[in-house]
Amino acid sequence: MRFITCLCLLSILSACKNSEENKSLPEKQEEVTIQVQDSLIYPGEKHFKSIRQVTFGGDNAEAYWSFDDKQLIFQSNYKEWGLECDQMFIMQSNETFEDNKPPMVSTGKGRTTCAYFLPDNKHFVYGSTHLVDEACPEVPLRKNGKYVWPVYDSFDIFVSDLDGNITAQLTSEPGYDAEATVSPKGDKIVFTSMRSGDLELYTMNLDGSDVKQITDELGYDGGAFFSPDGSQLIFRSSRPKTEEEIKEYKELLAQGLVQPTEMELYICNADGSDLRQLTNLGNANWSPFFHPNGKKILFSSNFEAERGFPFNLYLIDIDGKNLERVTHSETFDAFPVFSSDGKYLAFSSNRNNGGTRDTNLFIAEWQD
């Protein structure tokens, strides 16, 4: 799944303050606001015209836009909001949460992941473990000295309204079902499931019907997103090749674990055809998202890092050419998501966290 927990461990995994002070000095206040915005943009980040911090504590990630770009839904485990593990929150696109708390729209039970708006902008899909246990599940992060992600078999995919009322359950198969995202066409959901015995991609209709398997190679296929026209899928995969890698992968999977330190990006048609590997960079390449023009992918990677971090954002053409570094962080930038009009980019970052391990949400004004 697209976990925030990984971010804490690696020191990987907020937008500007709308201060109410000095209202009698509008010219001076404007100068201060500009200075704060500029300080959040690192040298070389030419695609960011401006940037503002949205959250100010905890681990906050996977902020996804509504179809009309007016709202975002995201997950957080911020303890000051009374949380023990990730829950879902909703916000207007112009809000920030330095001194207040956004509305929680998940049940507050179990652990949740990967919320995504439905086309009506009044409902969303998300993964939750609450049917099996209302308590937060344990989070193993190390196995035999290696970094791992848990893949909870208690995850299923639900539909909820914006008041937090579950209106439908879309999956009920044994094993992990999560990481659901919705096609911009508004007709299909793609998600990751263990129902075949391996972590593969599937699509289904918005009501959970017409489930189709998209991938069928050994390895963890996840974090999939549709292209703007709904014709393609981009996703991350850790596909073991050697006998030793295959053995280790299967042993970890039997324990509900995956090792996400070696992942590459793959692209295919929405029905699974014409599958090809997009990156061959090494280390972890993940959280890909299509640029609204459909010709480029924005993703997070630590392929230039020697010790696992930093993670930065990169652009690459859908044919694998013209790799370009977008952010210049010394810690962590990930989960980039464009608004449908391409004017704004929501992402998670360790920037401006005062040297803590907090991962906050930022919204940047994008320029090509």
pLDDT at 32 over 80: no
pLDDT at residue number 38: 63
Average pLDDT over residues 255-273: 96
d(CA 215, CA 211): 13
pLDDT at 178 over 60: yes
pLDDT at residue number 365: 98
Output the average pLDDT for the chain.
90
pLDDT at residue number 24: 31
Q: How many other C-beta atoms are found inside a 10 Å radius of the C-beta of residue 274?
A: 9
d(CA 258, CA 252): 6
Average pLDDT over residues 239-257: 96
**Among the residues of 41-164, which ranges form H helices?**
none
67: left (phi over 0), alpha (psi -120 to 50) or beta: alpha
Q: How many helices (H) and strands (E) does the chain have?
A: 3, 27
pLDDT at residue number 219: 97
Angle at 232 between CA 230 and CA 237, to 5 degrees: 130
pLDDT at residue number 284: 97
What's the token pair of residue 193?
């499931």
**More confident position, 1 or 331:** 331
Q: How many domains does the chain have?
A: 1
What's the token pair of residue 316?
């690459």
Average pLDDT over residues 224-242: 97
d(CA 123, CA 355): 37
Torsions phi, psi for 91 (to 5 deg): -150, 155
pLDDT at residue number 109: 97
d(CA 219, CA 230): 24
Q: Which of 7-16, 238-247, 304-313, 314-323 has the lowest mean pLDDT?
A: 7-16
d(CA 204, CA 212): 6
pLDDT at 33 over 60: no
Burial class (CB in 10 A: 0-12, 13-18, 19+), 264: buried
The whole-model pTM stands at 0.90
Amino acid at 256: G
Q: Which of 25-39, 170-184, 220-234, 281-295 has the lowest mean pLDDT?
A: 25-39
**Among the residues of the chain, which ranges form H helices?**
5-9, 26-39, 243-254
pLDDT digits (tens, 9 = 90+) for 121-149: 999 999 999 999 999 999 887 777 788 99
pLDDT at 25 over 50: no
Q: What percent of the chain has pLDDT over 90?
A: 86
Residue 40's domain spans which residues? 5-366
pLDDT digits (tens, 9 = 90+) for 288-304: 999 999 999 999 999 99
pLDDT at residue number 309: 87
pLDDT at 13 over 70: no
What's the token pair of residue 290?
């299509």
CATH code, domain carrying 96:
2.120.10.30
pLDDT at residue number 9: 38
pLDDT at residue number 184: 98
Q: Which residue do the tokens 């179809």 mark? A: 67
**More confident position, 1 or 185:** 185
**More confident position, 93 or 14:** 93
Average pLDDT over residues 96-100: 96
DSSP per-residue string spanning 214-233 = ---SSSEEEEEEE-TTSSEE
pLDDT at 71 over 90: yes
